[in-house]
Amino acid sequence: MREIKFRVRNPKTKKIIGYEWITEHNVWMYSYIRTGDTEYFGVMGDIADREQFIGLRENWSDNGIEVYHNDILEAHWREDCGLKKPQTLEVTFLNGCFMIATCTVHEFYRIYCSAFKVIGNKWENPELLKEPQ
């Protein structure tokens, strides 16, 4: 079974406050939320914004950081793609699919990209998505 989990943000500050996941044993969504020195376990309900884990971990390093919706990636391309320079790309959700640039996650990872790493997200690092001047 694939991991179904979410990164949870405070809707006002857009800061990450924890993670939620669905267990294999039932359909309840459990939360681990940390605010300051306080930790919470339970169901968050509708008081937070969520970004889903897309099923990929970065392949740039051995630590394999998880990739979530709205993350910003630095992508390095396979030699046969014709693209030489790394690109900065956002993970989006369109027509029922997680997308990276104009391709599905599967196409991006299996066909075009040789390596990628998470360099930020659109809420905390919006400047990464701006076109260079």
User: What mean pLDDT is predicted for residues 113-118?
Assistant: 85
Residue 36: its pLDDT value, please? Answer: 59
Q: How confident is the model at residue 91 (pLDDT cuts 50, 70, 90)?
A: very high
Residues 6+ apart with CB under 8 A from 114: 76, 77, 78, 79
Q: Say what the pLDDT of residue 128 is.
A: 93
Cβ(89)–Cβ(70) under 8 Å? no
54-129 CATH choice from 2.30.30, 1.10.3470, 2.60.200, 3.30.70: 2.30.30
pLDDT digits (tens, 9 = 90+) for 14-31: 888 777 777 666 555 556
Give me the pLDDT at residue 70, please.
94
List the chain domain ranges.
Answer: 5-49, 54-129
User: What pTM, to 2 d.p., does this model score?
Assistant: 0.77
Q: What is residue 121's predicted lDDT score, i.e. its pLDDT? A: 94
